[in-house]
Amino acid sequence: MSASGRPSLTRWKFRHSVVVWIGIALNLAYCVPLLIAPNQTLAFFGIPRETTTFWPRLVGGLLILISTFYVPMTVDIDRYRIFAWLSILPSRSFGATFLFIAVLGFGFSGGFLVPAVIDAGIAIASLICMIRISAIEQRIGAVRRVP
């Protein structure tokens, strides 16, 4: 690592992009089947089937839409820094919390734990990356201010 910390900063930004892309891929792996074959997808996860396929398809479509907002930060995290933080809180952390409470507090199907664990894992990994990025940038800024 150079004295400026650049390689380490670049590495953490790259790691963050990888984590976000993994999260997008996992979202798509869950949502595309919800759009195409909602009954089979719900059965696979052990989630009771609704009387209509409208709601599972709506959830799949909305989650794909939300996932598109994760893409800009993977291209330029400096320009889209606020999206990076918003993807952690409220987006991923709210989704995970909501689903954990639904299953553990209100007795909904355990199948909802799969997306809860995925969202929580991606949120934690993204948070670690963002904290490291911020810490390195602060350290670089402090070094630049010293005469």
pLDDT (tens digit per residue) in 94-147: 999 999 999 999 999 999 999 999 999 999 999 999 999 999 999 998 777 666
- 99 contacts 116 by C-beta, under 8 angstroms: yes
Per-domain boundaries in the chain: 6-145
Structure tokens at 108: 């909904």
At 3, the pLDDT band (50, 70, 90 cuts) reads: low
Q: Report which DSSP code applies to 76.
A: -
| Least confident residue range of 59-63, 84-88, 143-147 | 143-147
Q: Report which DSSP code applies to 49.
A: P
User: What are phi and psi for residue 70, nearest 5 degrees?
Assistant: -85, -20
Structure tokens at 83: 């999206």
First and final C-alpha spacing in the chain: 22
Q: CA 72 to CA 68: how far, in whole Å?
A: 8
Q: Angle of helix 38-45 relative to helix 6-36, nearest 10 degrees?
A: 110
